[in-house]
């Protein structure tokens, strides 16, 4: 049994999600979803647009509560009532961080420095600790030269790094990433993937929601495939990527057309594999 399988069988789940459903007005986003997220494992949550990936991350971050079903965090109920308890909410926010797909939703401070310092200030860290940790995070994310700039003046890749830094500054145990490479140029995408690769074996739990199949084997130890708001399959990255019947059914394969010398046009599904 490999180490990931051992952890899946023996560890207390970070999140235990049981028959969770959630609707936006008349649209069902999650439909009886059941899933365990184990500590220290990097997950990729795969699915086409509208499969429920972003909603799942928002529920894991406590930004919304299920209409039906239950979810626990480290064995404790994760509910809106529990998050109204300052002690529980303080500890939960320290341990769990979400980076949104669109960084403009997340960034609001006057400068990059202020953006990264915001979380520690809310948690009432001492000033010397804030200054030290923000400086470390700026260096780690290669943002020190931008610390006095307004986040909204930055490029898309720089904004994503600032949004990520604003979460990493708290050194969370669980990192939730919604489409971290979406909209990035190749250089920024490669930098983001390299960062996620370095977290392998860090003991952190990372949940990356993505429809980008190219990055899965680099950023994940385990894959969860969503379809219409429920778990369609779960397994190793290699197993999920090899299941072309599943991937075609959940609209995760691209269809390419080829024109043969005879003039015949042939279409077939195709899965990209890029090297980073």
When comparing pLDDT for 231 and 200, which is higher?
231
Reply yes or no on whether the pLDDT at 201 is more than 80: no
pTM of the model: 0.85
Given this model, what pLDDT does residue 266 score? Answer: 44
Q: Which two tokens stand for residue 133?
A: 């940790």
pLDDT of residue 257: 42
9, pLDDT greater than 80: no
% of the chain beyond a pLDDT of 70: 88
DSSP 8-class letter at 153: G
Backbone angles phi, psi at 89, to 5 degrees: -65, -40
What is the pLDDT, as a whole number, of residue 4?
A: 59
d(C-alpha 170, C-alpha 58), whole Å: 19
Give tens-digit pLDDT for 214-270. Answer: 889 888 999 999 999 999 999 999 999 999 999 889 888 754 444 455 655 444 444
Nearest to 33 by CA among 73, 69, 80: 69
Share of the chain above pLDDT 90, in %: 60
Judge whether 159 lies within some domain: yes
pLDDT tens figures, 42-65: 999 999 888 999 999 999 999 999
- Cα–Cα distance list, 36 to 60, 74, 223 (Å): 11, 11, 12
Res 76: pLDDT: 94
Which structural domain range is residue 42 located in? 3-270
221 within some domain: yes
User: Mapping DSSP to helix (H, G, I), strand (E, B) and coil, where does residue 92 land?
Assistant: helix
Backbone angles phi, psi at 107, to 5 degrees: -95, 130
What is the chain's mean pLDDT, rounded? 87
Q: Give the pair of three-digit tokens for residue 128.
A: 């010397």
Separation CA 155–CA 185 (nearest Å)? 10
The span from the CA of 72 to the CA of 16, in Å, is: 5
CA 83 to CA 85: how far, in whole Å? Answer: 5
CB 213 within 8 A of CB 220: no
Query: How many other CB atoms are found less than 10 A from the CB of residue 183?
Result: 14
Q: Which pLDDT score is estimated for 5?
A: 57
Is the Cβ–Cβ distance between 20 and 55 less than 8 Å?
A: no
- Provide the sign of the torsion angle of the four alpha carbons 130, 132, 133, 137, taken in this order: positive
Chain-centre distance for alpha carbon 136: 23
In this structure, is residue 161 part of a structural domain? Answer: yes
Q: Look at residue 185 in the predicted model and tell me its pLDDT.
A: 83
Q: What is the pLDDT of residues 108-119, one digit of tens each?
A: 899 999 999 999
The total number of structural domains that make up the chain: 1
In this structure, the strands spanning 42-46 and 68-73 are unpaired
Please report the pLDDT score of residue 182 as a whole number. 83
238, 217 Cβ separation under 8 angstroms = yes
Comparing CA positions, the residue from 227, 217, 254, 186 lying closest to residue 46 is 227
Q: Is residue 276 part of a domain?
A: no
Determine the Cα–Cα distance for residues 153 and 150; give it in Å rounded to an integer.
Answer: 6
Q: Which residue has the tokens 């002690």?
A: 87
| H or E stretch at 196 | helix 186-198
Does residue 275 belong to any structural domain of this protein?
Answer: no
On whether residue 80 sits in a domain, the answer given is yes
On the question of pLDDT at 32 being above 60, the answer is yes
- Kindly report the number of other CB atoms within 10 A of residue 105's CB atom: 10
Instruction: Specify the CATH number for the domain of residue 165.
Output: 3.40.50.300
d(CA 21, CA 14): 19
> Domain for residue 33, yes or no?
yes
Residue 218 lies in a domain: yes
């Amino acid at each position: 049994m490999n180490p990931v399988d051992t952890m899946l069988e023996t560890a207390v789940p970070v999140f235990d999600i049981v028959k969770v459903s959630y609707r936006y007005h008349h649209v069902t986003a999650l439909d009886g979803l059941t899933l365990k997220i184990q500590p220290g494992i990097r997950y990729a949550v795969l699915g086409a647009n509208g499969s429920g990936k972003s909603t799942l991350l928002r529920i894991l971050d406590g930004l919304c509560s299920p209409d039906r079903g239950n979810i626990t965090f480290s064995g404790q109920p994760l509910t809106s009532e529990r998050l109204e308890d300052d002690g529980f909410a303080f500890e939960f926010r320290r341990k769990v961080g979400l980076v949104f797909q669109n960084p403009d939703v997340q960034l609001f401070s006057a400068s990059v420095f202020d953006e990264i310092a915001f979380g520690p200030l809310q948690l009432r860290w001492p000033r010397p600790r804030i200054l030290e940790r923000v400086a470390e995070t700026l260096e780690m994310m290669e943002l020190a030269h931008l610390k006095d700039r307004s986040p909204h003046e930055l490029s898309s890749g720089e904004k994503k790094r600032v949004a990520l830094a604003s979460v990493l500054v708290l050194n969370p145990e669980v990192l939730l990433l919604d489409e971290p490479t979406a909209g990035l140029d190749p250089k920024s995408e490669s930098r983001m993937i390299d960062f996620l690769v370095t977290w392998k074996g860090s003991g952190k739990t990372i949940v990356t929601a993505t429809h980008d199949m190219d990055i899965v084997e680099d950023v994940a130890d385990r894959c969860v495939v969503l379809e219409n708001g429920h778990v369609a399959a779960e397994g190793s990255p290699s197993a999920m990527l090899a299941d072309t019947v599943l991937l075609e059914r959940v609209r995760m394969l691209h269809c390419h057309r080829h024109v043969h010398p005879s003039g015949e046009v042939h279409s077939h599904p195709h899965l990209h594999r890029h090297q980073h």
